[in-house]
Amino acid sequence: MISAVVLLSCVATVTAAFDVIAVPFDEGFSHLFGNDNLVRSSDGRTARLTLNRYSGSGFVSNDMYHHGFFSASIKLPSDYTAGVVVAFYTSNGDLFEKTHDELDFEFLGNVRGKDWRIQTNVYGNGSTSRGREERYVLPFDPTAEAHRYSILWTSHHIIFYVDDTPIREVVRSDAMGDDYPAKPMSVYATIWDGSTWATGNGKYKVNYKYEPFVSDFSDLVLRGCRADPIQQVDSVAARGCAEANGELLAADFALMTPKKRAAMRRFRERYMTYSFCYDTNRYPVAFPDCDIIPSEQSRFYEWGQSKYPRERRRSRRQSRKARAGDRKRASSI
């Protein structure tokens, strides 16, 4: 029987860091919204998403997957990006409106001179009232060049990667119950106006004086078990997806070695700025799947925000340009 793990494209390229294959856009994805705000490169390797005053844009995978490894190299918009949201995520919300599953990378723009922030979310079976959000800053400038962001989803655990560094692991447990994503999902990439919440809880809006806001996606990876979420999974399909899940669990990106765990711990200590596990105002009783680490908990306020927010170090020239830009913007408001 042919393996259920899908490695799309006979002319695909092997990406760095992990032994995975990138798929040409037209073989793996389709236009979702935004008309001309989605532009594909002539070689089909890159998709450009644009937000302007008329629309955002996005694309979606041609298939749904029951577990998989999904990845993209993403270059974020630069300059003033407050209110802008770029997202790379899996979801089945179109089919299961009240019981949907979702795994997110959300990139939240900022005012000039301030860093982009990343938010990761895990929702299962419509658990949006029990959001498991975490936020981070990055140790590099995500607007200068593309970096790889990956989501691994298996029957056992979920891992979020930035380049080859794991930044978050969610291990399935009985305590998590139905909150663990379990239904087939599509893979999405979008850019849109999140003025109501993305920057300063809505204090800073998208300023279309700085449009267009452009994000480039390349090295697109879809490795997983194709599945039909509507049909009852028959025994043959179930065996195929079980085999695919086994192959995923055996892959290098699924193995959490001591070296990877140490790298994840360092990243979280240095760059995590919010954790739902330490947000006792929102959740007086910690989630049963939270791994409460006292030394880590002491770094956060009771509303889950870090007491020691970090910003990427900038050169003096960058800092002067940012301050000058902010003064100019303030004078024009």
Of the candidates 102, 145, 211, 311, the residue annotated as catalytic is 102
Catalytic residue among 27, 97, 106, 211: 106
Segment 301-310, tens digit of pLDDT:
888 888 876 6
**Quick check: is 102 catalytic?**
yes
Instruction: Give this prediction's pTM.
Output: 0.87
* DSSP, residue by residue, 191-247: EEE-TTTTTGGGTS---GGGPPEEEEEEEEEEEEEE--SSSPP-HHHHHHHHHHHHH
Residue pLDDT, tens place only, 62-97: 999 999 999 999 999 999 999 999 999 999 999 998
Please report which confidence band the pLDDT of residue 56 belongs to, taking 50, 70 and 90 as the band edges.
very high
Rounded Cα–Cα distance for residues 155 and 64 (Å):
16
**What are the tens digits of pLDDT across the range 204-261?**
999 999 999 999 999 999 999 998 876 645 555 667 788 888 889 999 999 999 999 9
Residue 190 identity: T
Residue 325 predicted with pLDDT over 60: no
Does the pLDDT of residue 103 top 70, yes or no? yes
CA distance 61 to 59: 7
Tally Cβ neighbours within 10 Å of residue 251.
17
- Spatial distance between the Cα atoms of 108 and 280, rounded to a whole number of angstroms: 24
Q: Are 239 and 66 in contact (CB under 8 A)?
A: no
Q: What is the pLDDT of residue 237?
A: 61
Secondary structure (DSSP) of 239-291 = HHHHHHHHHHHHSGGG---HHHHHHHHHHHHHHEEEEEEEETTT-SS--TT--
